[in-house]
Amino acid sequence: MTGLLDGLRRIVGESYCLTEAEAMERYLVEERRLFRGNAIAVARPADTQQVAQVVALCAQLRVPVVPQGGNTGACGGGVPQAGAVVLATERLNRIRAIDTANFTMTVEAGCILADLQQAARDAGCFFPLSLGGEGSCRIGGNLSTNAGGINVLRYGNARDLMLGLEVVLPDGRIWDGLRSLRKDNTGYALRHLFVGAEGTLGIITAASLKLFPAPRERQTAFVAVTDPQAALELLNLTREITGDAANAFELLPRNGLDIGLRNMGGRDPLGERHAWYVLLELSSPRASGLRAALEEVLETALARGLVLDAAIADSETQRRELWRLREVTAGGHQHQEGGLIKHDIAVPVSQVPEMIRRGTAACEAAIPGIRVIPFGHMGDGNLHFNLVQPLGWEPQRFFAERERMNRIVHDLVHELDGSISAEHGIGLLKVDEMARYKAPLELELMQRIKEALDPLGLMNPGKVLPPPAQQR
């Protein structure tokens, strides 16, 4: 271990090799405190070369390496186990190049997402990846978990925004796949293996990302709908009338909004109470009459009985107020209502109403008084199917039901050909679920890839893939 620490200090410098408990603390826990890890050291390399040297040293000494970006992951993917070295990418935070004529930027893994959004804006472009943690999450982590967020409907996931990668491989060699090409059919798409692999196949140190023309026109509405089926029909109607102009179509249930407003403040802009809402936003990189299009959507939907009421933002301030309703729905029940069991699921968009109807009924039958709050990115078929404890329970009593409730929700997702992790990844939290729901053949293929690229099994061990014994 002395050899390891001496080596790490030599590579990254004394002050960037943390070993004191207090200094390491923030790298060992994650936001929700579901997992607490431990580590020999936290290494904070300055650049790709240092990352490569740290990984090579760890490979030589057979020490596991756990890469960490902003440590904002929702599934414990960045939490280290005892005996590991945490490799924090936060000092790799340079924007290496912006090519506005190619609509690309080349950035290092430790860049904070919001900083990249700003850099794109400063260059007259738009980088669409946007999510709750954008002020502190880092692009390497976003790519390693294939982050989603609020603009996926129009622009895709982190994966879709990536053209090339630089990766430090498990043996410490650097793969330079940092191309900025829209087309490149020269062999296997290695870059796609590292996206979503949560650092288990190597460490992303830099990426070439797509930029887009900046939105010039935006129209945002907060819409009361009769039920999730009406929301689905509203989505289809929106597409029929506006084509692909919708960049956000977020479903919000009344109960989640109520809890949010109560715990985080704010007010409902509509006069009456309704059971379901949609936050609908259209955008276009040119002035193209979106307001009229939005009004046509809403009037048609009103006439068909899908929509009961709606508020359209008339200013950027009002737009932010409407988006805040989405934020309080997402955030209000997460801390102040006691026990919470979260699910990040996706089904085909056409199955969302079925998922909500059957999932809610099954959860309420299992625990009378449970508060089911399915909200989120309906346009992508992605719901955060969150369960809040009944009023008056002790949180621990509710947490004891976690396994049973996971089973109810995930069994239904599985039946509907859905995904048990739409945008949060697997990490530690869902490794057992992988073993349960993935076909053995698919796990076997993933395991073969893992062994082909990381034969020593040192890259973020224990994450994503169940142990082989559990797979068969």
Q: Nearest distance from residue 458's CB to a copy of itself, in Å? A: 16
Which H helix or E strand runs over 26?
helix 21-28
**Which range, of 55-63, 173-181, 310-318, 359-367, touches a copy of itself by CB under 8 A?**
173-181
Residues 425 to 454 in contact with a copy of itself, rule: CB under 8 A: 425-426, 430, 434, 437-439, 441-443, 445-446, 448-453
Q: Which is nearer to a copy of itself, 350 or 470 (CB)?
A: 350
Question: CA Rg, the chain, in Å?
Answer: 23
Would strands 104-108 and 95-99 be described as parallel, antiparallel, or unpaired? antiparallel
Taking the C-alpha atoms of residue 110 and residue 124, their distance in angstroms, rounded to an integer, is 23
Contact between 29 and 76 under an 8 Å Cβ cutoff? The reply is no
Taking the C-alpha atoms of residue 153 and residue 284, their distance in angstroms, rounded to an integer, is 14
Write the DSSP string, 364-405: HHHSTT-EEEEEB-GGGTEEEEEEEPPTT--HHHHHTTHHHH
Q: Which is nearer to a copy of itself, 109 or 168 (CB)?
A: 168
Residues 363 to 402 in contact with a copy of itself, rule: CB under 8 A: 377, 380-382
**Which range, of 38-46, 115-123, 212-220, 400-408, touches a copy of itself by CB under 8 A?**
212-220
Write the DSSP string, 197-229: STTSS-EEEEEEEE-EEPP-EEEEEEEEESSHH
Q: Per this entry, what is the length of the chain?
A: 472
**Which range, of 7-15, 52-60, 208-216, 264-272, touches a copy of itself by CB under 8 A?**
208-216
Q: List, in sequence order, every beta strand (DSSP E) within 255-370.
A: 276-284, 307-312, 340-341, 344-346
The residue to which tokens 């992988």 are assigned = 434
Q: Which is nearer to a copy of itself, 216 or 335 (CB)?
A: 216
- What is the CB neighbour count within 10 angstroms for residue 84? 23
**Which range, of 60-68, 170-178, 313-321, 386-394, touches a copy of itself by CB under 8 A?**
170-178
Q: Which is nearer to a copy of itself, 385 or 398 (CB)?
A: 385
Residues in binding contact with a copy of itself, number by CB under 8 A:
93
Neighbour-count burial of 159, counting CB atoms closer than 10 A to its CB (0-12 exposed, 13-18 middle, 19+ buried): middle
Q: Nearest distance from residue 124's CB to a copy of itself, in Å? A: 8
Q: Which is nearer to a copy of itself, 3 or 243 (CB)?
A: 243
Q: What string marks each residue from 31 to 70 as x (binds a copy of itself by CB under 8 A) or -?
A: ----------------------------------------
Residue 15 makes contact with a copy of itself by CB under 8 A: no
Residues 213 to 252 in contact with a copy of itself, rule: CB under 8 A: 213, 216, 232, 236, 239-245
Cα–Cα nearest to 203, from 147, 156, 139: 139
Contact between 206 and 163 under an 8 Å Cβ cutoff? The reply is no
Q: Which is nearer to a copy of itself, 250 or 337 (CB)?
A: 250
Q: Which is nearer to a copy of itself, 111 or 161 (CB)?
A: 161
* Residue of 72, 104, 130, 142 interacting with a copy of itself (CB under 8 A): 104
Burial 198-224 (b: 16+ CB within 10 A, else e): bbbbbbbbbbbbbbbeebeebbbbbbb
Q: Which is nearer to a copy of itself, 3 or 348 (CB)?
A: 348
Taking the C-alpha atoms of residue 463 and residue 259, their distance in angstroms, rounded to an integer, is 34
Q: Which is nearer to a copy of itself, 292 or 400 (CB)?
A: 292
Residues in contact with 45: Cβ distance below 8 Å, sequence separation at least 6, in sequence order: 11, 12, 16, 51, 53, 54, 87, 89, 91, 92
Contact between 404 and 338 under an 8 Å Cβ cutoff? The reply is no
**Which range, of 4-12, 82-90, 146-154, 398-406, touches a copy of itself by CB under 8 A?**
146-154
Q: Nearest distance from residue 452's CB to a copy of itself, in Å? A: 4
Q: Which is nearer to a copy of itself, 59 or 85 (CB)?
A: 59
Q: Which is nearer to a copy of itself, 260 or 381 (CB)?
A: 381
* Residue of 182, 273, 304, 397 interacting with a copy of itself (CB under 8 A): 182
Residue 122 makes contact with a copy of itself by CB under 8 A: no
**Which range, of 80-88, 152-160, 254-262, 311-319, touches a copy of itself by CB under 8 A?**
152-160
**Which range, of 16-24, 99-107, 112-120, 314-322, touches a copy of itself by CB under 8 A?**
99-107
Q: Nearest distance from residue 396's CB to a copy of itself, in Å? A: 29
Residue 299 makes contact with a copy of itself by CB under 8 A: no
Cα–Cα nearest to 388, from 336, 461, 447, 320: 336
The residue to which tokens 């040293």 are assigned = 57
Residue 146 makes contact with a copy of itself by CB under 8 A: yes
